Amino acid sequence: MKITDIQFGMLRVPLKTPFKTALRTVNQVEDIVVMVHTDSGHVGHGEAPATAVITGDTHGSIIDAIRHYIAPRLIGEDIADLNRITQLIQTALEKNTSAKAAVEIAVYDLWGQLYSAPLYKLLGGGAPVITTDITISVDYIDKMVADSVSAVERGFESLKIKVGKDIGVDIERIKAIYAAVDNRALLRLDANQGWSAKQAVYAVQTLEDAGIRLELVEQPVKARDLEGMRYVTERVHTPIMADESVFGPMEVIELIRMRAADIINIKLMKTGGISNAIRIADIAAMYGVECMIGCMLESSISVAAAVHVAVAKSSVITKVDLDGPSLCQYNPVDGSVVFNESEISVGDAPGLGIREIRGLERLEG
């Protein structure tokens, strides 16, 4: 099974409600879809969003990186040589992790198709059902309370609450949600870099002193401020999770050595795809550090790939934030990974098991 061509599409899916974080507001998933064609007629699918404020990647840069740097290296490569191909992708150019992720996902999809097995089985197996949280966008307090209660009523047992806008209001937001949810769900906070280290310690300690139990607090300070991450981690009881601070395996090793966070959020769009996600999970496991697997605003192509990784690495990936498809008005993908609110299950179809993508706009060239 040799690679013959790489084609592009654009997938647009409106969100149920605007997605608001300390970094941005988004109304729809708008992702590049990558189709890797082979001489056997098999097609592998990948996907990448343009999360410029986090990865630096735009739609244009994703297409350009693949078209001019990654694709020329892959034409003629045999899917059976998976490690060689992932190495070619990762060394094609610096950064551009979303472009690398989209192509890697498609290649792993083909690798599963080659051996007629669902990807998670080739990655080591596991129980093919996982549970995700759902994100509550940062907003007026009453709206966040209503969104949280509604999510609990829909069966979500973990809520990822976006904060990081205004420290005083953030504390009030969490107190109000905690009271309304009344132990029916775990609360995870994500400040998306919106606090200073001192503000983060103040906010978390204030909530702890008020008897509010938080499962974790994600990325309280600026991505590059590892000293700030450590400052917070050392001073609060609540586990601190690194998201924007860590992309690849080298950064994870540095973060763990510095003891700058308790938990690591792995996202395929930061790692450059599946090969580094697995590496990070293995490194974290060696150090006894737990991981979450997360997503950007992605639909159920790239999120399906993350689900396969989550299933195969469930001993170290103990937390799941793969709510991209749940945030969308509809699922454009007919595939073997089934997203049913908090429950995500994986079928037995080969690779990612994608049968059809509705509404895919082909991009020429």
Ligand X SMILES: C[C@H](N)C(=O)N[C@H](CCC(=O)O)C(=O)O
Binding residues for ligand X, total number by CB under 6 A: 15
User: What are the CA-CA distances from residue 62 to residues 28, 32, 97, 215 (Å)?
Assistant: 18, 8, 9, 35
Tell whether residue 228 is a contact of ligand X (CB under 6 A): no
Q: Kindly indicate which of the ranges 231-239, 293-301, 303-311, 347-355 contains the residues binding ligand X, using the contact rule CB under 6 A.
A: 293-301
At residue 250, the 3 state secondary structure works out as helix
Instruction: Determine the Cα angle at 12 with ends 8 and 17, to 5°.
Output: 155
Query: What is the distance, to the nearest Å, from the Cα of residue 355 to the centroid of all Cα atoms in its chain?
Result: 22
Instruction: Choose the binding region for ligand X from 103-111, 230-238, 278-286, 289-297 (rule: CB under 6 A).
Output: 289-297
51 binds, among Mg ion, ligand X, none (CB under 5 to 8 A by kind): ligand X
First-to-last C-alpha distance (Å) of the chain? 23
The identity of residue 145, as a single letter, is: V
Q: 321 among the known binding-site residues?
A: yes
Phi and psi based region of residue 164 (left: phi greater than 0; alpha: psi -120 to 50; beta: remaining): left
Check residue 295 for interaction with ligand X (CB under 6 A): yes
Q: Which is nearer to ligand X, 54 or 349 (CB)?
A: 54
The one segment of 40-48, 202-210, 277-285, 295-303 that binds ligand X by CB under 6 A: 295-303
The token pair at 284 is 């974290």
**Segment near ligand X (CB under 6 A); pick from 173-181, 204-212, 318-326, 342-350:** 318-326
> What amino acid positions are annotated as catalytic residues?
162, 267
Find the farthest-apart pair of alpha carbons in the chain and give their distance in angstroms, rounded.
62
The interface mask with ligand X, positions 135-164, x = CB under 6 A, is x------------------------x----
The arrangement of strands across the sheet holding 240-242 comes to: 134-136, 158-162, 186-190, 216-218, 240-242, 263-267, 290-294, 317-321
Sole binder of ligand X in the list 77, 104, 147, 323 (CB under 6 A): 323
Residues 7/33, Cβ–Cβ less than 8 Å: no
Q: Residue 86 binds which one of Mg ion, ligand X, none, with CB within 5 to 8 A depending on kind?
A: none
CA–CA separation, 317 vs 344, rounded Å?
15
Residue 323's binding partner out of Mg ion, ligand X, none, with CB under 5 to 8 Å set by partner kind:
ligand X
Ranked by CB distance to ligand X, the top (closest) residue is 296
From the list Mg ion, ligand X, none, partner contacted by residue 233 (C-beta under 5 to 8 A by kind): none
**Dist CA 107 CA 86 (whole Å):** 8
Q: Which does 295 bind (CB under 5 to 8 A by kind): Mg ion, ligand X, none?
A: ligand X
Query: Does residue 321 belong to the site contacting ligand X (CB under 6 A)?
Result: yes
Instruction: Spell 135-167 as b/e; 16+ CB within 10 A means b.
Output: bbbbbeeeebbebbbebbeeebebbbbbbbbeb
Kindly tell me which of 90 and 302 has the beta carbon lying closer to Mg ion. Answer: 302
Residue 177 contacts by C-beta under 8 Å, 6 or more apart in sequence? Answer: 136, 144, 145, 148, 159, 161, 187
Give 171 or 296: the residue with its C-beta nearer to ligand X. 296
Rounded least distance, CB 34 to Mg ion, Å: 24
Taking residue 94's Cβ as centre, other Cβ atoms within 10 Å add up to 8
Binding residues: 24, 135, 160, 190, 218, 243, 295, 297, 321, 323
What does the binding site for ligand X look like in residue numbers (CB under 6 A)? 21, 24, 51, 135, 160, 190, 192, 243, 294-297, 321, 323-324
Instruction: Output the known binding site for substrate.
Output: 24, 135, 160, 295, 297, 321, 323
Binding site residue list for Mg(2+): 190, 218, 243
